[in-house]
Structures are given as C-alpha cells and as structure tokens.
Structure 1
Amino acid sequence: MVIEKLLWSKKKQTRHDISREEFASIFNEWKETKIKQIQHQLSSMGTSIDFSKDYFTLSPKMSDYVNTAFIELFNKGLIYRSSYMVNWSYYLQSTLSDIEIEHRFISKPTNYEVPGCSDKFLLGVLHHFKYPIESEDSNEFVTIATTRIESVMGDVALCVHPNDSRYSHLIGKRAFNPFTRQMMPILADASVKPEFGTGVLKLTPAHSLIDYEIAQRHDLPMINIFDDKGNIQCLYEPFNSVHRYAAKELVRAELDRRGLYEGYREHSHWLPVCSRSGDIIESRLVPQWFLRCDDARYQTEFTVNRDSLSEESEQRWNELKTSLDEGSRNVSLIPSSYRNTWKDWFSRHKDWCVSRQIFWGHRIPAFQVLKDSAPTEFWVAAKSESEALRLAAEKYGGSGADESITVKQDSDVLDTWFSSGLLPLAVTGWFDGHTGSPNHRRLPLSLMETGHDIIFFWVARMVMLSLQLSGRLPFDRVLLHGMICDSNGKKMSKSKGNVVDPMHLIEGANLEQLIQQSKDLFDAGLISDEVFTELMKRTLKAWPNGLPVCGADVLRLSLLQSDFKEQKVNFDLSKTVKKRVFSNKMHQTVRFILLHLDDHFEQVSLAPDQLSNIDKWILTKFVQLGNLCRDSFKSYDLHKAACQAPDQLSNIDKWILTKFVQLGNLCRDSFKSYDLHKAACQVEKFWINDLCDVYLESIKHDIIDKRPNYLQSLNLLILVTSLSLRLIHPFMPFITENLYQHLSFAQCKSEKQDYQYRSILQLPYPSPSEHSLLQFFDGSYMDDYEKVFAIQRKIRWFKQNFLINREPLIERIRVASLSSTLPQYEGMISSAIKIADCRLEFVDLHDIYHFDDAYCVQVNLNDEDDEGTAQSSSSSSDSDSAADSRAKTSNSLQADEIYLLFSVKRALLEGRLHDAKLNLKEPKIKSLLGQFDQLHAKNFSENYKRLTKIVS
C-alpha cells in the first residue's frame, strides 16, 4: 500500500501500469532505505543486539526455507487447493485473513466512500423492494429487506424459515428476478432469521458466505456479477462496468421506476473493512491454497490454555499431545489475561488461506500439471520447474518421458505471515539439517517478545507451523507489549500524522525539520490536505522553536517508565522533553564531585562505625535500589544483607538501609513479572529525591568548606554515585557510561594513578556483596525519617502554594504529634522553612487546644504530591490511605498523627500577593486568598475540632 502511494505520487502510475520486475525494483530500493533507517534508529537508541544476525523474510535464504516448508506440508497432505468463500479486497485484488479485517460499526444512515470509487454511497439502511411471484405481471409480491441492493442481479433464490407462518404458503413457489428475468425458487431453511428485516432472505451465493452455505445444501447455481476490479458484469447490460457501490443508486432507481421499490429504513450494522486500504471486504468464491489446521489448532490452543476443558476436549488433548515432544507441551502467555483471548479465537478458527494475489512475496512453489497444454486438476510442489516436471511425469505420465505433460507455476504468493511464522525454525537451523524427526532439540527458545496486536497474525502461526513441522513448540514464554499511541490514546499512524520520529527526540529538530517531515508524508500521498493543514497548526502551536535535544537515554527512560504490558502505551512528547531534568541532575552531581576532586583528595577507608547518619541513609537507599534493578535483569535472588547493624550506625543510616531493602523486594517482584516500569521509575526517584535532594544537600557544605570530615563524605558520595551509574546503566547506557568514565578518570588523576578504560558493561551489576557498607542496615528508626521528610514536604508545599518566599509572613510553625523523637531532627525540619525569624516548636498533640488561632494542616505520610513532583509510587500500600481514614474517624489519637500549626500574618500575606513584582491579576489574588481561607476553615473543622474533642 505504501509503495503504491509512492508510485502514484511520483509517477501517477499504479502497479498495473508497470511490470512485475519494475515494481520489485522499486520495492527493493524502498526496502533497503527502510532497513538502514530501522538499524540506525535501533543503534541510536542503544539497543544491544547483533546486527549481523538479522533476518529478512524475503531474502533468498529465507525463500528457500519457505519453499522447503511448503513442499513438506504439501506432501503431508496438510496444504491443499480448493475453491471456497474467502475475504476479498477488490481494491487490493487479493484475499485477506479474518484478522486483517477491522469491523466498523455504522450506527445510522451514513454517506461512505471506499478506495477506487469517487462517489459516496449510503450505508446504515435496509432497502425494501418486492419480487413478483410466479410471473412478471403477477399481482402477488414478496418483500425483501437488504443492505446489498446492488447484488440483486446475482440472486438465484429466496429463502424463509420453515416455521414462519407468514410465508409457509410461498414455499415451493417461484419469484421473478426483473434483471436476470429468471424464475427463482422459494426455499425453506432453518438458518434464516425470521426477525431480521421482512424474514425473507434473498440468496446471492457467489457473494455471501451465509448464502453460499445455504446454496450448497440446496444445490443452487452461482452467478458471479463482479469482475476482478469489483465492477458489475451481469446479464443486465446497462449496469455493466459500473463500480459495485455506485450501482446501488442505479438499482434503486430502476426498481423504483418499475414500481418495485418500497423505500429504506434506518439500520445499524457492522462493516468489514480492510485494515490496510480501507476497502470494504467482500466474500468471493476463488480457488486458493489452504493449510489444514484441525489437529494443529487443537494442539496450539491446548499448549497455551488447558483450563476448564470439557471431558471431550480433555480426551482430545490426551490423544494429540502424544505427537508432541514431552519437553515441549506448554507455552506461557504474559500477561496471562490473553489466554482467554487465545482460547476464544481458536474456538472459531478455520483452515488458513495462505495464498495472496499481490505483486511481491514468496511465490507459491506449486505447479499445475498441463496435458497437451490444457490445465488439469493435478498439482505438484517443487523448488524448480524441472523438478516439478519430473514429479508430474512420474505421478501422472508413468516412468517414461511424456512430452504432452508440462507444468505451470501458480502466480500467487504466500501470505507474509507464513514466512514469518517459520522464523523460529529458521534461526535455530532446523531447515539446514532437519530429517523430519520430532526430536529436534534446539527448540523451544526461551522468550518471544512482540506486540499483542499480532498475537494471532504471528505468534499463533509460529506455534502451529512449528508443531506441524518439528513436533516442538517454538518458545516457552510469550511476552506481549501494547501499542504505542499518542498522548490522546490514538494509534500512531502516518495517515493521521501523529507519528514521532525518535531521531528528532534524540538529536533535536528545528521547526523546518518538523515541517519537512509532514511535507514528506504529504508528498508521498500518505496524508491528505486536511491532515497536513491540521498537522502544521499543531506543530506551530506546540513546538514553535522545534524540539530540543533529549538524547537516547531520556527517550529510553521515558518509554521504560510506561507499563508496556497495557494494551495502549500513551506517549506524551512533552513529558519526554521534561525528563531532561533527570539527566541534568546526573550531570550536576558528577560535576560537583569533579570540582572537588583536587590534589588534596585522598581515598579513605569507609567503615560503618565512621559514617554519619546521612551517610548510612544514602547507602541504604542505594541498596534498596540495587536489589530492585538487579532482580529486573537477573532471574536469581541476591543474598540478603545482614539485618543487624553495629551500634555506631545513626538513625538515618538505618533508615536508608531499610529503604533500600524494601525497594529491592519491590523490584525483585516487579522484574519477575516483567514490570520494568517500576524499576525505571524508581531509579529516577532515587537519584533526584534521595541522592540529590536529601543526601547531597546534607553533606555539600562539609565538602565545599572542607570541614574535618569532608574526605569521608566525598569518598562516600563517589562510591554511591559510581555504583548508581552502574545500576542505572541498562536504562540509560550513554549518559551513565560517559559520566562513569569522567568520574574514573578524575579519581585516577587526583590519586596520581594511570587511567585504564573499562566499560560499565565489563563490570558486574552492583550487588550488596560488593562493599561491606552495603551489608549493614536497621529499620528501627525508619518511621522517624519518613515523618521528617513528610513534614518538610508539607512546609514547602504550604509556601509554594501561597507564593511565600523568604518574607516573614509566617512567625511560627508548631509540630504537634505524640512523638518524643521528632525534636531530635529540628535542624533537618528547619532547613525547609528558610524564613527569617520564623520559629519552630514541637508540642504535644494533647495540647493542641491551646492554639486555636493557628492554621491546622495534617501531614500525610508518604504523600509526595504536595510539591507537585513525583507521583506516589505504585508500591505504596493501601495501608497509608487506610491509616489516614482511621485517623479521621477514630475517637482516639493515633501514634502516627502529625499536624502543623502555621501562625500566618494574613494581612501581610495579602499585601505580599499585591506586590507589583509578582505581577498577579486581581482574580488570581482573590483566588489564592479564597483558597487560603478555605484551607483554614476546612482543616480547622476536620482536624482541630476533632482533636480538641478527643483531648477534652
């Protein structure tokens, strides 16, 4: 379809205007361009694959494999040729499989347009017309209701339900067709639905699967009224050479002229449409090649889903599984919900039509036997004409040479999914030395990862073909990812203009480049004028200065942070651009270290008893992250770090170590279930929130001012940073490699050592066993630090929400709780205030009734949304929200309840908001003050009144 559009846009030609060889040449040129583009994108994204082992399913080598498979299946009697009703696209002039068809719902009368027909036609209606009974001039009629009024020239009979009393008197009579002038029998068949339309079914067996099956039972003739292009060719000459849908109006007008048309009624229905061309699919009786799927279908269904089998199905499975290798009888689908989809599809699956009538593909290696140049019904399968002639002579001409016997190869090609379905056998070398034995041991492969939308196009066919040829399954597990859509959840498509070139995100793109991308699509005929105009408007509005450089790592992380197992993966371009903040944080952290790696730096021994609280905290956070990510890529569990820590460790050390262990457990579970997004989200959170915002902020002044303990702090920062770069490397390979080498070089230079390059890829993935510091943690003081960080977040949120900077608008903040340990962290909490003359006090929650003039705000533990930063992690248990609910409804104080009492100078706050420097409009000021008062009223009623009632 793409190449035909390119051919038309450049030369105003269709594939029928050029030779098959010319078309193949254009295709090969296009294919080479696309292969280079795909490989460039993959390598630019840092994909670790062996490009020397790629497979192209139309290569000569693969073509030989395809021929081998076809011939073997043909000789086994599994491939046969027959005339049967198939899905046919007159625009493509080819058959299609069921899964290449989209079903669009027409809910009301709609003017519709199909490719190849310039006029629109009416759908969503039932046309009512009548046939005369027994003679053209009869006064007795039977009324028909149909959506396919253009096919009446192909009608050969009428049919009613045998129990329909309305028409029982007509059974056995005949109706007159005014266009063919034939008398059509009126039959009875139980498949007719009396409730549909008028209850009378007109039979057009050459163009309807249902009609064809009824016609087979009643031995009715087939009248094909459509030619290969979908135009009318019938006995009624005025309609000939007219497009079948353009003929709708002509037929209606002629019936109306003869007094036989009775109008139309609104009728909603499903419309089968080609997913590639948009053409409406027809049923057509065409000789095709089919693959028998009876036993293979059952085997393929049962190997994936053997739950709740009936007794008959259980017996069937036990019979069929004996032909399979014992170690190859089960495939796991991930997510497991697709097992039901798999079972449902196979319950309706028919023999597979493997032939297609397109210009390129694997030409079917089947030859028709000709006797004296006349075609016979005999076919042979061979790789060459000479081999086919030999087989034909042996089979049909006896042992001697017979010059009257010749062969002619079928012009059809194989369905592309036939060759694709052979890929597991091809990559494991099965074709190079197979003997047809089911004991082939290079299968199954471990994991097949692909999109859920081709689970039946490809995955099911790989399983069926592998079972039929080798007796073994192609793989043990199938991991299905969703479809990448735009930010609105719509499928990315060139015809819609909502595609994103990954290279534009990696390398950046100016406005001219973005416009040129859309223009290329338009020039190639892939988007319409309307889509092009709309695309230009969106581009100019969203990216007037073009797209900034993001780099491959930012794009990788942005994609990995989505749950790819969902059916739709919404890709938001603007959110990806914002991810540059993370990469900038990484650069800033390493830059800070490099600035202080001078001649005074020396490596010191880091022992647990020498660490400060914040040192131990960051190490624990790292261990948690390490366990999470390691288990993302490894299938084995790491040894557990010791649960006992030396008495010398501070509370913050024990807290961060425990956080690391929790994070490790989370990631271990996440990666075993292929939830890569959880690990990808946590690495960003760790670096920004824990390493930078907490740890680096706590120690940076020690390093800058070169305080007595600065060497220890700097050494620990280097250790955690270098280990973190190695930890994050699988997610962001380019940035981490670059920063790691800068860090290693600077360390060697400061220590006057020779620098030797060693890639992160040559190093082991970080493990708790790598350093003794990572093996000591204790979570006994975990809660204290969670409370401290929650208090800090709430204070920052309060200031940011009401635009309070460093002005003395808050004179006092009281921390009301039942905790006796929070005062120990006064320095950490005060660091979040940054307001001159604002005092921090700690009060007992029982004394809250003394402070009825304060703004009472509850602190929600683990609530990170206050600052509008990271979303709450999916690992947060429901117990957090449950705890808040208990706190609001309980008649007693809870141990983890914390409230902040802000003493705010409201008049000064109002003046601050009116400051000209803020440049706030009056509605905005009123809105902020209204929020402030509402916040006070709400929290006063919900928190203060409840608490004072409990205390009293």
Structure 2
Amino acid sequence: MSHDLPKSYDPTAIEDRWAEYWVRERLFDVPTPEGAPAASPFTILLPPPNVTGRLHMGHMLNQTEMDILTRWRRMRGDLALWLPGTDHAGIATQMMVERQLASENTTRQELGREAFVERVWQWKQHYGGAILDQMKRLGASVDWSREYFTMDDHLSVAVREAFVRLHEQGLIYRGAYIVNWCPVQQTAISDLEVVHEEQQGKLWEIRYPVVEEPGQFLAIATTRPETMLGDVAVAVNPDDERYKHLHGKRLRLPLMNREIPIITDAWVSADFGTGAVKVTPAHDPNDFALGQRHGMPSINVMDETAHINDEGGAYAGLDRYEARKRILADLEAQGLLVAAKDHTNSIGKCDRCKSVVEPRLSTQWFVKIQPLADKAIAAVEQGYIKFSPEQYAKTYFEWMRNIHDWCISRQLWWGHRIPAWHCGTCKQITVARETPAQCSHCKSTDLEQEKDVLDTWFSSGLLPCSVFGWPRHTHDLDIFYPTQLLVTGFDILFFWVARMIMLGCHFMLDMPMADGSERTLKDAVPFREVYIHALVRDADRQKMSKTKGNVIDPIEIVGKYGTDAVRFTLASMASPGTDIAFSESRTEGYRAFANKIWNAARFIFMNVDRAAESGIFVDPRTLVNSFGPDENAPIEARWIVSRLNNTAAEVNRALGEYRFHEAANLVYQFFWGDFCDWYLEIVKLRLDFGEYADKSATRAALTTLLSTFEAALRLLSPFMPFLTEELWHAVYDGKTPAKSIALSRYPQPLEEALDASVEGEMAILQELIVTVRALRKDLDVPERELVAIQIAGPDTLQHLAETNRSIIERLARVSAIDFPATWNLGPGNTRTTASFTVGSSYEKQIDVVAERERLRKQLDQYDKILINAERQLGNDGFLSKAPEKVVTGLKKQASEAAMLRQETLDAIEKLEQLA
C-alpha cells in the first residue's frame, strides 16, 4: 500500500475492503495443533445470537470487548480461538415463520409438522444468520471455519446423548406440574423467559356460601376470578380465630354448584385479603403445592389458548378475560361479589410475544437439577471459575442454592425433538439414542415419538464441549476445553451461564484428560472466567426500548462515524460494573481521534518520502526489534520511547483486568497527547533535509518517529482494527512482515526503554511551555508575535531550559530566554509553579482590580488544598490505612501549595502597592 494517503480520513472507503480481506484470507482460522500447544490457548465462545437476530448495541458492546481481548491475546503470541455461531431459538424462529405463514393465509397446522419444519429450514437459509454477516462487516476476528448452528448434525447428536444419559441416570423425569404457559406460542416457558411488570389491577372479594350454615358465607379475595371455576377447596390459617368455627365444614362453589372443603394450612397469610384463599391447584404454583400436601384433585379449566374448556361449565369457549367479565357479572347478579379494590400486582409476560403468561398444570419433561447444581456451586466456591466483577458470584450462589427443577420440554415443532417414544400398546415410554424399532417394555412396534422439543437453552448449555466434538473424545476437546473466558451480559447469567456450568461439570467429569488420567472438577468446568459486562443505555442513562423510542441502531451509527469510532466509544466507557451512557458526541470525538491519527500518518509519510529524495532511507522492517534511541539522543526521542513503553505496560495490565475503559483511554492519551500534540511538534525541529543538514541526526529522528508510530498502531489495533490495518500497511509501503497487523506483535514494555528521569524532565518542559502559553494569553500577545521570557528556578531547570531552548522557542513562540540574577517583573507579567517562575516584560496595561481578584481565587484554592491535607495528615486512622505512596504525595502537595500560597500573597501585596 502506497504512502500516498487520501487527504481526508473516510472510514467507509477502507472498512468494507479490510473486513472482506480478513474473511477471504481466513486470517483468524485456528487449525487444531497436532500436538499439545506450548501454553494453554485462549479460547472464547461467542454467546450465540438468535438466528432471527439483528445487531443491537448490547451485541456490539459484547463483541467489541471479545474482539479486543482476542486480538490482544493473538498479538501477544497466544493461540487465540474465538468461536462464532447462532442459536436456533425455538420460540422466536417459529414465531417468525408462523407470521410469514399468516401473511399467506395459512398455518403450521395446515402445513403439517414435517412440511413446517422444512419451511423453517428454508427461512433459516434465506434470512437466518444476518447478525453473523453484520459481525463480518464489523471485523470480528472469529474463526469462521468453525461457525456452528445449534441444530447442526454433530451438535444434535450431543443433545440427544445428553438427554439419554441424564434419563439413564434418573435425572430426567416426566410429570404434571405447574408451568409458565404462553397462550400465544402455546408452549411452556421457563421462569427466566417471563418478564414481570407492575400494573394496576383489582382484588375482588367473593362470598362462598357455607353448606352447613345456610345464610352464612366465607369471603375470599382473588385477582383472577376466572380460575375459581377450578377451585377444589378454600384454605385458612389454622390459628386465625375468625375462621376456627368453620374448620372441617364445606362451601358451595359459586356458579359451579360444587361442594368444596374448608382446609387449614399454615402457609395461608391471615393478613392478605380476607385471610381465606381459594385453592386452584391446576392454575397456581402455590395452590398446586398446597393441593399436593392435602391430597386434593387438580381441575384444569383452560385450554392451550387460555380459553375456558369444558370443565368451566357455562363459560366454556370464552377467552379468559371475557370469562372474567361474565363471571363477575354473574356473581354480582347473585349478590356474591362483595367488593372490588384497586390492587397493584406483578403480571408475568412472555419475553418473546409479550402475552400474559398463564400458570397452568401441564405434563412436561424436567431435569432434576440438584445433583448438577451441587457441582456447579463447588466449581465457583473452589475458585475453578471466577466471576468479574466479583459481586456476580454472590448473585450466582443465591440463584443456584434456590434453584428448582428445570422444565426442558417445549410445545413447539422447531427444535431438537425429545428422543422419547410412546408405546400405543403398553403406554410406556422408551428413551433411546437411535429411533427404536420396538417398545423396550412390551416389544410392540406401535411407537410414536414425543411431540415436544427441548428448551433451546438445553442445547446451548452444552456448547463449550459439544462444539469441540463431545460426546466423542476428540483432540479438539483435549486442546481447547475448558475455554478460558466467557464475556456476556447479566441477562443470561441464569439462562445460559449457569446451565453451561451445570452441564459441563456433569458430563466432562466422565471425559478423561488428554493423557488418559481422570478429569477433576477443575478441568471439567466449561470456562475459567466469566466477565459480565454492563448495559448500554442512552445518553440520559435510560434503558433503551422501542416504547421509549430511544433505541440506537449500531449499524446506523457505524455508517455515520465508522466502526472504529463506535468500537472505541464503547471500549472507552466499558468500566466493569458500570452501565454505558452511549453518546453520539463521544463517538464524534473518537471519529476526530481517528482523523488525527490519519493526519499524523500523512505528515510522517510525507517526511519519509522527502528523506528518500535527499538520500536518507529508513526501512521500517528493521525497526521492529529496536527499542529506541541511545542516551545521547534528543530529549523528545528518549521521552517518547519511554512513554510508549510505560503506556504499553499499563494497557497490557488494564486489558488483563478487563478494564477496557482504562486501556482505551491510555492509548488515546498517548496517541493524541504525547505523540501528536507534543512529539510531532518537537520532532519537526529535527527533520532537516537541506543540503547542509546533519543526515545522521535526521535519520535518527526519522527512525524514532517511524518506529514509535508503527508500535503505536499495534498498541491501538485491537481497539481500532480498520484504521490501524490501513496505516500499518502504508507504513511498510505494502511490504509488510505479516499479512495483517492483527498477526504482528503487541507492544510489550522493555525495561531498558523506560526512563523515569527523562519523563520527569519532559514534564517540566511541558509545564513551562504550557505556562508561557497561558501567560501570553493573559498578556494579549498576538498569536504570531514572539516574546522574550525570563525564568527563575534551580540550576537544574536552567540547564534543562538552555539545553532544550529550541523546543521552548518553537512551542511557546519565544524569541529569547533569560535567567536574571534578580527578579524585577511585576505580578501581572509573571506566573509561578512549584518548579519555576516565568515572566515576560511584554507590556500590557494591568487591570489591578481584575488581577487582584484572580490572585485571590488562586489563594482560595491553595487554602482548600492545605486544609484538606491538614485534615487527612492529622487523622491517625487515615495514616494507618493509606499506602505510603499516597501519604508521601499528600505531603508533597501540601508543601507545594504552601509555597505557592506565599508567592501569591507576595504578588497581592505588590498589587496593593501599585494601587
């Protein structure tokens, strides 16, 4: 690639090209090593987005963090594998295809199961995986050769094996229990797929006649009067004095003309409602448990669509809410409706279709979770899996220690069909890995496969091992399992993370290690670490939602500012445990940052080409192994190399701790501040291509400039992969040492390149230049006019300023520098810091009142610093706990503030004399 870069930076002109190049060249494919790698590989699994999905800001944050870590580890020399894939998303995908069928005036029932499943596969081939195409466009450095879909043949084998094994171990059973039922999707859904919303409702009081005492009633309170059609009892607390005379008596169920008993149970709260509760075991989980304790029958009065069934008598065929209206009207007509009170309650809704979930008695398949949970808890307790931020471990434990058996069956047609066959002859069930020819109980051939499919999370819970070949013992499993890291959001901590831990620990304990030895829990875990990232909110820190109209489309923002700017925005705000308030103004700022780097590259390449014209050649391929200039080099050369190495050390540390915001801001400060604002301006003094120029000095300056820029590009590359790829290829003029900057070496700090003394000296020079610039502004010196300055300070400062006179003169626009033995400038013409006093004799009419006011404000600031320091340094508790570095820094700050306070007082006194 030529040095001749376009004048302006246009991300759209380069991003598609490099994204296509990375995929075409298969740069991030990771073939399985033949033997054991020298070190543990860095393996990371993409949380599989739904095959129906489109990229949202949460995805982009998640993938940005994973890509930064993977690129960083790859550039550090690790065998870095990032696996992509999609989830078949049973409910969501079936819903999408059913909507498509509805637009064609047909249904899945009319098509039949086989044709419908074929139709879903067609939909998946045509529309599915769009989110992966978006990932490719955004440059995700995944191994596309290993892309999976959760219903691929080899993964389906793993799902069936897991089900059969758990069943053989007595850990899968079938039974009738209360489940969350979605009447629109007509399937059971898990507790985690129910979204609870607070809404204003009613609490109705209804009178039930007492059979043994005509004219007497027992009032109950309910928020769902339609379920009373399935009441089998009314329960009261045995200690509730109000109802002791009714123990053992019977009630007549209104509208149904059925007698039901009054029972006592300590679970009933005497304080809720009337203190008497209707018992409807088929429509409430608490009632179901109560009914089980008392041997009560269960009467289901609703069908799969939440319409009243034949058990509902005169209300059969009505929708549940229409039935509610009719029931309340009939109760009121019979004088049995006592009151209707406003009541705020939590309504559960299906996370997919937003319909109100109905608790419903249903025969389902369950995983007995407790043996699996025990291992999963131990894996985290014993430190084999670590959570970051650490507080999520506590959340994990709380959920895992109160976990219920997992309902894994779904009444869908799309998904992994449960490998169980019902016998039409003996009514028994055969569970098998392969389709059985006959019943395992009576040998009958009258078999029909279970209609239900497995919960999507059952198959995705196996991914860390199934993608590497489990249940077979493969070389991939030996090399890449356990994975090193999972990066995900809090919202699927229990959906997916906990289930992967449970299933991985359970099944992989039976898989021997590569050397044939027994695997322990430490190596059965699916991953070593879990990093939970925060939410992306809008600029006002509101949660994004379509209802609020504040959803930000990442593809739209990328089109506006470029992928690199959006990635850098997310990274720079990704502090562990803190939500991100996404702001377009920040993104616009990082677009400007990319432009700044682009212009820096154009300046560097222009000078490289000018040098070549004058016979000075610098080959960038010889720069990689050099660590910097010699000790006699100009201060800026030694300083920038030291700053680069210090920054590299801090960035490597921050990324190792998942402090993306720190790492991004460190790179930003180095590139924009140290390199562009300071170093580039100073190095212009050294780039002399004239006939009588010192060519060796110019070559040395250009060498440091080019090598630092090339290293800085590598430092930035994981954050801004497109910009750095373009410029890195330009640095080498197309003759790059690797096919991509992503395959080059990430900068590592070199001890011999670190120079604290030169960084200290440069800090003083920078402070001096900044102070002179401020003084010029205060004195209203025209921009183009040079001024003479005077400096007072220690001998070391005088030596530093004289040695680097040209730097001060150029950057502060100074014509002359003097070090007077006596100081004769007034306070309006001087500025004082802890290190020096600088002044200029440039004449400006002093506004004594304004200057005195400015100095008094300074005095107030110094007073506050001294009061705060005195308070902390006089606090024994603080001194005993604070690190020595903090205490020393505080004392130094107080000493400097005291000195500056006195100088300010002296300046005020001189002004008073002028007045």
Conserved 8 A contact 1:332-1:477: yes
| Aligned equivalents of 1:89, 1:815: Cα separation in 2 | 79
Q: Give the counterpart of 2:642 among 584, 607, 620.
A: 620
Query: Which residue of the other structure, out of 430, 436, 441, is the alignment partner of 1:395?
Result: 441
Partner residue in 2 for 1:585 = 596
Alignment of 1:529-568 (within 5 A): 547=560, 550-563=561-574, 565-566=576-577, 568=579
User: C-alpha offsets along residues 338-382 of structure 1, whole Å, 9 cap, x if unaligned?
Assistant: 1111110011111111100122000111001221xxx62x21112
Partners of 2:372 and 2:806 in 1: CA distance: 71
Determine whether 1:59 maps to 2:152.
yes
Query: Corresponding residue for 1:690?
Result: 674
The question of 1:260 aligning with 2:336 is answered: yes
Q: Distance in 1 between matches of 2:431 and 2:376?
A: 26
Would you say the 8 A contact 2:631–2:638 is kept in 1? no
Q: Kindly provide the CA deviation profile for residues 562-596 of structure 1, in whole angstroms up to 9, marking residues without a partner as x.
A: 32643634433342233111111111111112222
Structure-2 separation of matches of 1:369 and 1:799: 95
Show the counterpart of 1:380: 430
Amino acid at match of 2:710: S
User: Using the alignment, how far apart are the partners of 2:900 and 2:574 within structure 1?
Assistant: 34
Quick check: 1:775 aligned with 2:786? no
Q: Give, in whole Å, the separation in 2 of the partners of 1:444 and 1:138.
A: 71
Instruction: Determine which of 68, 71, 96 is the counterpart of 2:189.
Output: 96
Q: Does 1:364 align with 2:418?
A: yes
Higher relative contact order (CA 8 A, sep 6+): 2
Name the CA distance, whole Å, in 2 between partners of 1:60 and 1:139: 68
Aligned equivalents of 1:186, 1:569: Cα separation in 2 = 55
In the alignment, structure 1 residue 413 sits paired with structure 2 residue 456: no
Question: What is the count of residue pairs matched by the alignment?
Answer: 744
Task: Tell me if the contact between 2:770 and 2:812 (Cα under 8 Å) persists in the aligned partners.
Answer: no
Q: What letter corresponds to residue 701 of structure 2 in structure 1?
A: S
Quick one: structure 1 residues 179 and 948, their matched pair in 2 at CA, closer, same or farther if it must change by over 3 Å? farther
**2:146 corresponds to 1:169:** no
Residues 593-608 of structure 1 mapped to structure 2, 5 A cutoff: 593-596=604-607, 597-598=609-610, 599-603=613-617, 607-608=629-630
Residue aligning to 2:504: 466
Shift of 1:766: 2.9
Secondary structure of 2:175's partner? Answer: strand
Deviation, structure 1 residue 56: 0.6
Give the match's secondary structure for 1:610: coil
DSSP-derived class of the 1:158 partner: strand
CA contact (8 A) 2:645 2:754 kept: no
CA 1:788/1:463 → structure 2, altered by over 3 Å: closer, same or farther? same
- 1:351 maps to a residue whose letter is D
Answer whether contact 2:158 2:471 (CA < 8 A) is retained: yes
Q: Which residue of 1 aligns with 2:204?
A: 127
CA displacement at 1:407 relative to structure 2: 1.2
Q: 1:833: Cα distance to partner?
A: 6.4
1:426 corresponding residue in structure 2: 466
Distance 2:738 2:478 in 1: 44
Q: In the alignment, is the contact (CA less than 8 A) between 2:180 and 2:359 conserved in 1?
A: yes
* Partner in structure 2 of residue 678 of structure 1: 662
Q: Deviations over 1:773-810 (max 9, x none)?
A: x824432465554455456667778999x997947999
Change (3 A) 1:814 1:93: farther
How does 1:23-62 map onto structure 2 within 5 Å?
23-62=116-155
Q: Does 1:83 align with 2:176?
A: yes
Map of 1:540 onto structure 2: none
Structural mapping, 1:755-904, within 5 Å: 759-768=740-749, 775-780=752-757, 782-783=759-760, 785-786=762-763, 789=766, 806=782, 821=797, 825=801, 841=830, 853-854=851-852, 855-856=854-855, 858=858, 894=897, 897=900
CA drift at 1:230: 0.1
Alpha-carbon distance in 1 for matches of 2:813, 2:640: 24
Contact 1:144–1:197 (Cα < 8 Å) also in 2: yes
> CA separation in 1, counterparts of 2:775 and 2:324?
69
CA deviations over 1:607-628 (Å, ceiling 9, x no partner): 4243111222111111112223
Cα distance between partner residues in 1 of 2:234 and 2:138: 62
Change (3 A) 1:880 1:104: farther
Distance change (3 Å), C-alpha of 1:883 and 1:807: farther
The residue number in structure 2 matching 1:700 is: 684
Q: State yes or no: 1:476 paired with 2:528.
A: yes
RMSD over aligned Cα, in angstroms?
A: 4.3
Cα deviation for residue 700 of structure 1 reads 1.8
Counterparts of 1:262-411 in structure 2, within 5 Å, are: 262-305=338-381, 330-371=384-425, 376=427, 378-385=428-435, 387=436, 389-390=437-438, 392=439, 394-397=440-443, 405-411=445-451
Residues 133 and 174, structure 1, Cα contact 8 Å, conserved in 2: yes
Indicate conservation of the 8 Å contact 2:833/2:900, yes or no. Answer: no
Aligned equivalents of 1:155 and 1:756: distance in 2?
A: 78
Q: Percent identity?
A: 31
Distance, in Å, in 1 between the alignment partners of 2:97 and 2:318 is: 24
Map 1:680-759 onto structure 2 (within 5 A).
Answer: 680-703=664-687, 706=690, 708=694, 709-745=697-733, 759=740
Q: Quote the Cα distance in structure 1 between the aligned partners of 2:779 and 2:278.
A: 75
User: Is the 2:158–2:470 contact (alpha carbons within 8 Å) kept by the matching residues of 1?
Assistant: no
Correspondent of 1:247 among 323, 345, 349: 323
Post-superposition offset of 1:413:
0.2
* Partner Cα separation in structure 2 for residue 819 and residue 858 of structure 1: 27
CA change 1:819–1:412 in 2 (3 A) is farther
For the 8 Å contact 1:807–1:836, the answer to whether it is kept is no
Partner SS for 1:429? coil
8 Å contact from structure 1 (residues 45, 556) kept in 2 = no
Q: Cα 1:879–1:683, aligned 2, differ >3 Å: closer, same or farther?
A: farther
In the TM superposition, what is the alpha-carbon distance from 1:499 to its structure 2 partner? 4.8
Q: Structure 1: where are the runs of 5+ without partners?
A: 110-122, 307-328, 509-546, 632-667, 747-753, 862-876, 902-939
Query: Separation in 2 of the partners of 1:158 and 1:946?
Result: 90
Aligned to 1:82, the other structure's residue is in SS state strand
Q: What is the one-letter code of the residue matched to 2:797?
A: T
**Is 1:20 the equivalent of 2:42?**
no
User: How far 1:62 moved relative to its partner?
Assistant: 1.7
Q: What SS does the aligned partner of 1:430 have?
A: coil
- Cα separation, 1, equivalents of 2:126 and 2:582: 26
How many Å apart are 1:265 and its aligned residue?
2.1
Q: Which amino acid aligns with 2:448?
A: K
Q: Return the alpha-carbon distance in structure 1 between the equivalents of residues 281 and 774 of structure 2.
A: 72
Q: Could you say which residue in structure 2 is the equivalent of 1:115? A: none
- Residues of 2 paired with 1:492 and 1:66: CA distance? 35
DSSP 3-state at the match of 1:579: helix
Give the direction of change, closer, same or farther, for the CA distance of 1:757–1:765 in structure 2 (3 Å limit): closer
Amino acid at match of 2:614: H
The AA in structure 1 aligned to 2:593 is F
2:56 maps to which residue? none
Moved more, 180-189 or 441-450: 441-450
Distance 1:206 1:803 in 2: 85
Does the CA-based 8 Å contact 1:784-1:822 persist in structure 2? no
Paired AA for residue 552 in structure 1: T
User: More displaced, 484-493 or 714-723?
Assistant: 484-493
